[in-house]
Amino acid sequence: MASAAYTPGNPSGLVADLNEAQRAAVTAPPGPLRVVAGAGTGKTRVLTRRVAWLVHQGAAPWSVLAITFTNKAARVLKERLGALPGGESVYAGTFHGFGAWLLRRHGDTIGIDTRFTILDRDDQHRLLKLILDELAPGEGRLRVPAVAAQLSWLKNGSSGRAPLALDRSGMEDVFEAIATRYAERLRAASLLDFDDLLLESVRVLVEGAGVGDVLRDRFRHVLVDEYQDTNRVQRDLLLQLVPPGGSLTVVGDPDQSIYRWRGATIGNILAFEEDLGGGNTVVLERNYRSTGRILSCAEAVIAKNTERHAKRLVTSKDEGTPVEVHRAGDADEEGRLVAARIRRWVEAGRRPDDIAVIYRVNAASRAIELALRERSLPYRVVAGTEFFQRREVKDLLAYARLVENPADDVSFLRIANVPRRGVGDTSLAKIRQRAFDQGVPIAEAAREAATAGVSGKALKGLRELSQLLDRARAQPRRPVAAILALLAEGSGYKAMLETSHDELERSRVENVDELVAFARQLDEREPDVELSTFLERAALVSEQDDVEEDGGRVQLMSAHAAKGLEFPCVVVAGAEDGWFPHVRSVDEPGGIEEERRLFYVAMTRAEDELVLTFSSSRATYRGFERRLPSPFLGDLPPADIEVHDRAPSWGGAWSPGPRPAFSTPVAPPPVSGVEGEVVREVGSAWTVGDRVQHPYFGEGVLFDVGGRGEDTRVTVDFVGHGRRQLLLRHARLERIR
């Protein structure tokens, strides 16, 4: 590595092993810089060397701010910077971590208690459940996850389809009351959710007296990884930190922007120079990950998108073996062929953890998991339930949060009767009412539970809980691991698991032990670390941070979870129309392009070998359903693929092309340049042979109609887009007369 050869007298060591484009990105003068980094082009190396180069050119290390999207990426960046002079003084962290850092120091300038507690997703849902029970009891149309998503959507000013169709449900007033009550509860308990960490940081920079000037003076150089996945608020935060023409380096790839559903906007990276009042762009096209044929196929797919920055990846490896495309008769056969292909890789010397199976829809994993079990192939479902979201981990963290923040009502209500101490709903209702009447936190009201009418076992249990929390608070300098151990044992929580008659419950003890071990590692690395710091880090852990080297298991994961990972051998399963692209994407502006980017991300995880699979039919809730191959498969260059068709009886052999289709009974020929009146006939019957118009796919001919009522699906032969299967109620089809 060049960084090892670097010395203050030999700065050329920073760029000696870089290609021309990487070198241009690293050594560009301070100012607005956009690095369009294709998959596998070494963007992390460029980001690290860019920081080192700026420091060598005279930037103080503490004046450099590097922002990543995951804690894992931040750790990797810190490790690499640690080997460079002054690298340990660079601030490297996530957007949310930086927001927490900023608000701890300057939140009081806008009235925020700097001792706030971060409300993670699970506890946010618990709080919203309480509010729904208060304001909309029995209201089945409002569910907690959707309400949380709607709140986030509104806070971030997201575009596209809202999580809740409030205008159609007649629930606007109820939702407004819920949002108001939610904000009040957060303020009263000094809680901030993830969205608040960024929104309030922007507000501090705009409204906090002198804070913006102070931070702009400190952070003279800002670098951001994965800029294609930023949302509007994150962009606003950066534009408040960096003045027009300032030193802002963003690294990203528009072709890998796949988080629109959580507010990300591809427009941020595409409009970077416009936002910064000019700037430079460097494009990284030399790929060090994938073979030539894998890249050829991936590039052929993504080239059909219009929202992108033109580039063409070139491999540094050989052409490699052809990309395999397998068609199976049904899902179970697809599972068996995937397992058989994995078995051949393993027998050829691949480790199981060299292999990943990626899918768009989680349901695709069922048959694959069964087939892997049948062949005794070990596997792991990545991000199925992340460590810090497991119930027992969340419970113990709730105890710890109460030690740190006695006003945290959500945490108190979570553990008030866990383990069981006789505190039922009636007792909790009495305590909550007293807390409301006196304007105090519920935990404080619980100290005087007797005056609230609580007695017997519940009163004894609440007193013991208060005493335990007091003991934990009495030694603030105690190691975090010791505090967690005290809470786990003193509460009886660990004993509850250990003595359970349920084997699954007993196995949860391992996760409690692992949490304490995690804290102990932190105590050893940072002897003076405080409980608040530990809780903050635990709250900011993301699903990708939980992906560990697993020492010998095939990795099964969604295409979103695969982002940022790479494997020698990859299977992309369930490559079918309606799944990849997802049926919901058809009617969303930009939806098909995002699905194509997601397919591109899945393909480019492969280093040496790539297999794409799909089924001709799948079992559904109402029976079996015929499936069409993903239209993305039709973009694959024939010279770079090898087709394995196990279902010729389902309509003839499949082959790539601009209109992938089965040789099933022929519909009327597709029309070109059809003239006629476009008429919307919502209630009329649809007939094979109807000429139709779609807002994205254009003109076509109705090929098949199946299903009934809301489950009616139509297959349409579109001009230039091939045959597409659509759910009629979402299809927005119009008949052409």
Determine whether 185 is an active site residue: no
Q: What is the DSSP string of 574-607?
A: --BTBBTTBGGGGGSTTHHHHHHHHHHHHHTTEE
Tokens of 174: 């109820």
What is the phi/psi pair of residue 607, to 5°? -90, -50
Tokens of 168: 């159609």
The number of helices, as runs of H, and strands, as runs of E, in the chain is 29, 25
Q: State CA 249 to chain mean position distance.
A: 23
The single residue listed with the structure tokens 């607005």 is: 32
Closest CA to 113 of 210, 182, 180, 189: 189
Pairing state of beta strands 713-718 and 698-706?
A: antiparallel
Closest CA to 222 of 331, 374, 59: 59
CA distance 308 to 652: 36
CA distance 501 to 460: 26
C-alpha count within 13 angstroms, C-beta hemisphere, residue 418: 16
Tokens of 677: 């009146």
83 sits in which H/E element: none
Determine whether 693 is an active site residue: no
Determine whether 44 is an active site residue: yes
Judge whether 615 and 579 are in contact, CB under 8 Å: no
| Residue of 605, 627, 691, 735 marked catalytic | 605
Judge whether 134 and 432 are in contact, CB under 8 Å: no
| Residue of 122, 123, 225, 408 marked catalytic | 225
Q: How far is CA 241 from CA 28, 36, 121, 168, 237, in A?
A: 20, 22, 27, 40, 6
Supply angle C-alpha 426, 428, 430, rounded to 5: 70
Judge whether 250 and 34 are in contact, CB under 8 Å: yes
- Burial degree of 48 (CB within 10 A; 0-12, 13-18, 19+): buried
**391-404 helix and 456-473 helix, angle to the nearest 10 degrees:** 70
CA distance 185 to 180: 9
Closest CA to 630 of 683, 573, 696, 580: 580
Q: Which residues pair with 573 in a beta bridge?
A: 359
17 CB neighbour count, 10 Å cutoff: 15
The single residue listed with the structure tokens 């994150």 is: 234
Closest CA to 226 of 445, 437, 69, 446: 69
CA distance 94 to 477: 27
| Residue of 195, 200, 226, 546 marked catalytic | 226
What is the strand order of the sheet 247-252 is part of? 91-94, 64-68, 221-224, 247-252, 33-37, 280-284
CB crowding 330-349: b at 16 or more within 10 Å, else e? bbbbbbbbbbebbeebbeee
Determine whether 195 is an active site residue: no
Tokens of 293: 């044929």
Q: How far is CA 95 from CA 100, 149, 154, 224, in A?
A: 9, 19, 19, 9
Q: What is the CA radius of gyration of the chain?
A: 28
CA distance 194 to 148: 11
| Residue of 22, 34, 41, 43 marked catalytic | 43
Determine whether 225 is an active site residue: yes
Tokens of 276: 């910064």
Q: State CA 14 to chain mean position distance.
A: 33
| Residue of 256, 544, 555, 613 marked catalytic | 256
Determine whether 351 is an active site residue: no
CA distance 317 to 330: 35
Q: Which residues are catalytic?
A: 43-44, 225-226, 256, 605
